Amino acid sequence: MNTTIENLLNNQIKYEAQASMQYLAMASWADAKGYNGVADFFYSQSEEERVHMTKLVKFVNERSGNVIIPALDVPKASYDGLNELFEQFLKSEMFVTEQINHVIYECLQHKDYNVHNFMQWYVTEQLEEEAMARTLLDKLNIIGNDKSGHYLFDRDINAIAAAQENE
Ligand code: OFO
């Protein structure tokens, strides 16, 4: 495997792992605050990111590349409220999308169509996750600081997420 591509895939392993830990920290924050629906949502997002990371680890190994399991930054653990939490969620997804686009660009430069093809799954996944983050943040922006709105958001978030996934 081309070294540039191998390095980029190892970076991507780190970004997915970082997202997984970040979402776990978000879940834990929400859990502690009594937002059980939001906590469930982020526990499950955290699991998904772990799957994304493992898929990359397996792929690099299959291609006889050298996998580096990375050390991670300590994730942000406290938030002003749900709005900040979901702003960070969207920001994190947009960052990952940017990195994936960069991998795709480099695959084309290096004519690595195999990795390019593999990465298409991530492109689709990012589209869905960004759309989800935007939908949820839009709803929170409508709700503003209304406490009963936050209560309903927490109660309904997993239904909203499921409906969005089935769209
Ligand atoms: Fe890994 O899917 Fe989002 O970040």
Centre of ligand 1 from the C-alpha of residue 112, in Å:
22
Cβ–ligand 1 distance for 19 under 6 Å, the answer: yes
Centre of ligand 1 from the C-alpha of residue 96, in Å:
6
b/e code 18-37 from CB counts within 10 Å (16+ = b): bbbbbbbbbbbbbeebebeb
Q: How confident is the model at residue 66 (pLDDT cuts 50, 70, 90)?
A: very high
Cβ–ligand 1 distance for 129 under 6 Å, the answer: yes
Measured from the Cα of 52, ligand 1's closest atom is 1
Residue ranges making up the domain that contains 95: 3-166
Centre of ligand 1 from the C-alpha of residue 66, in Å:
22
> Nearest 5°: phi and psi at 24?
-65, -40
Centre of ligand 1 from the C-alpha of residue 125, in Å:
7
Instruction: Give the dihedral sign, CA 106/110/115/117.
Output: positive
Measured from the Cα of 130, ligand 1's closest atom is 3
Give the number of C-alpha atoms closer than 13 A to the C-alpha of residue 99, restricted to the C-beta side.
Answer: 19
Domain count, the chain: 1
CA-to-CA distance for 37 and 49, rounded, in angstroms? 19
Cβ–ligand 1 distance for 22 under 6 Å, the answer: no
**How does pLDDT run across 68-127, given as a tens digit for each residue?**
999 999 999 999 999 999 999 999 999 999 999 999 999 999 999 999 999 999 999 999
Q: How confident is the model at residue 2 (pLDDT cuts 50, 70, 90)?
A: very high
Q: How confident is the model at residue 162 (pLDDT cuts 50, 70, 90)?
A: confident
- The encoded tokens of residue 58 equal 């397996």
Centre of ligand 1 from the C-alpha of residue 90, in Å:
11
CA-to-CA distance for 28 and 105, rounded, in angstroms? 36
Quote the crossing angle between the two packed helices 113-143 and 82-109, to the nearest 10°: 160
The CATH number given to whatever domain includes residue 75 is 1.20.1260.10
Number of C-beta neighbours around residue 9 at 10 A: 23
Across all residues in the chain, what is the average pLDDT?
96
